[in-house]
Amino acid sequence: MPEEPVFPEDPIQWMYEEWRKSIEGTPTDRVLDLIEGGARTAEGFIRGVQEAGEGLARELQVWVTDPGRKLEQLSQLPGLMVEGWGVMLRPVATGLASVRSLLEQVMAAIRLDPTLTLTVDPENLADLHAAASALNRVVEASHRLREAALGLAEGAGLRSGSGVEEAWAGLLMAGVEGPSQALARVFREASRFMIEVLARNGQGGSPVNYWPPIRIPVLPKPSSPLIIIAVEELPGRLGALEKARTELAEAMGGLRLALARLETWEGYARLGFRDGVEQAFAPMQRFVGPVMMGILDEARPLPTMAREMAAQVSRIAPVDVSVLRVNFSYFHEAEEYLRYIYSVSEDLAGHLTGSAGALRAAWAMRDGGTAADELEAWGRRARVVVGGTAQRVMPLLLALRDQVKNYWTQTLRALVHRPREMIASLRGGEG
Partner 1 sequence: MPYRVNYGEARRALSMALRALREANERYFSGTRHRFYDVVGMRATVEMAVAEALREADRVALSWAGEAPQRIAAWLGLLDRMEAEDREAEARMRAAARRR
Q: Is 341 in the site for partner 1 (CB under 8 A)?
A: yes
What region does 70 belong to: left with phi over 0, alpha with psi -120 to 50, or beta?
beta
Q: What are phi and psi of 229, to 5 degrees?
A: -95, 100
Q: Which region among 6-14, 67-75, 163-171, 390-398 touches partner 1 (by CB under 8 A)?
A: 390-398
Q: 265: Cβ–Cβ under 8 A, 6 or more apart, which residues?
A: 120, 121, 124, 127, 128, 194
Compute the distance between CA of residue 16 and CA of residue 42 in angstroms, rounded to an integer: 6
Compute the distance between CA of residue 43 and CA of residue 25 in angstroms, rounded to an integer: 21
Q: Helix or strand or coil: residue 327?
A: strand
Q: Is 393 in the site for partner 1 (CB under 8 A)?
A: yes
Q: Is 368 in the site for partner 1 (CB under 8 A)?
A: yes
Going residue by residue from 103 to 122, which x/- string records binding to partner 1, judged by CB under 8 A? --------------------
Cβ neighbours, 10 Å, residue 120? 25
Task: List the one residue from 355, 410, 417, 420 that touches partner 1 (CB under 8 A).
Answer: 355
Q: Write down the least CB distance from residue 231 to partner 1, Å.
A: 12
Q: Is 224 in the site for partner 1 (CB under 8 A)?
A: no
- Of 431, 138, 429, nearest to 257 (Cα)? 138
Q: Is 362 exposed, middle or buried (0-12, 13-18, 19+ CB in 10 A)?
A: exposed
Q: Are 63 and 73 in contact (CB under 8 A)?
A: yes
Nearer to partner 1, 296 or 334 (CB): 334
Q: Is 347 in the site for partner 1 (CB under 8 A)?
A: yes
Q: Which region among 122-130, 156-164, 239-247, 394-402 touches partner 1 (by CB under 8 A)?
A: 394-402
Q: For 80, what's the count of Cα atoms within 13 Å in the CB-facing half-sphere?
A: 12
Q: Which region among 163-171, 204-212, 369-377, 420-428 touches partner 1 (by CB under 8 A)?
A: 369-377
Task: List the one residue from 34, 82, 99, 334 that touches partner 1 (CB under 8 A).
Answer: 334
Q: What are phi and psi of 323, to 5 degrees?
A: -135, 110
Q: Which region among 86-94, 124-132, 150-158, 307-315 touches partner 1 (by CB under 8 A)?
A: 307-315
Q: Write down the least CB distance from residue 154 to partner 1, Å.
A: 17
Q: Which region among 245-253, 260-268, 276-284, 361-369 touches partner 1 (by CB under 8 A)?
A: 361-369
Going residue by residue from 127 to 166, which x/- string records binding to partner 1, judged by CB under 8 A? ----------------------------------------
Q: Write down the least CB distance from residue 220 to partner 1, Å.
A: 24
Give 228's strand partners.
Answer: 325
Q: Write down the least CB distance from residue 254 to partner 1, Å.
A: 45
Q: Helix or strand or coil: residue 83?
A: coil
Q: Helix or strand or coil: residue 81?
A: helix
What are the distances in angstroms from CA 3 to CA 88, 117, 201, 267, 427?
39, 11, 8, 19, 46
Q: Write down the least CB distance from residue 400 to partner 1, Å.
A: 8
Task: List the one residue from 289, 297, 340, 428 that touches partner 1 (CB under 8 A).
Answer: 340
What are the distances in angstroms from CA 328 to CA 10, 163, 175, 292, 325?
69, 17, 33, 30, 10
Q: Is 363 in the site for partner 1 (CB under 8 A)?
A: yes
Q: Is 362 in the site for partner 1 (CB under 8 A)?
A: yes
Compute the distance between CA of residue 172 and CA of residue 373 in angstroms, rounded to an integer: 72
Q: Write down the least CB distance from residue 413 to partner 1, Å.
A: 24
Q: Is 348 in the site for partner 1 (CB under 8 A)?
A: yes
Nearer to partner 1, 276 or 368 (CB): 368
Q: 334: Cβ–Cβ under 8 A, 6 or more apart, which residues?
A: 397
Task: List the one residue from 325, 398, 402, 424 that touches partner 1 (CB under 8 A).
Answer: 325
Q: Which region among 55-63, 73-81, 283-291, 385-393 touches partner 1 (by CB under 8 A)?
A: 385-393
Region 400-419 residues binding partner 1, contact defined as CB under 8 A: 400
Q: Is 374 in the site for partner 1 (CB under 8 A)?
A: yes
- The terminus-to-terminus CA distance of the chain in angstroms comes to 46
Residues at the contact surface with partner 1, assessed by CB under 8 A: 313-320, 323-327, 330-331, 333-334, 336-338, 340-341, 344-345, 347-348, 351-352, 354-356, 358-359, 361-365, 367-368, 371, 374-375, 378, 381-382, 385-386, 388-390, 392-393, 396-397, 400
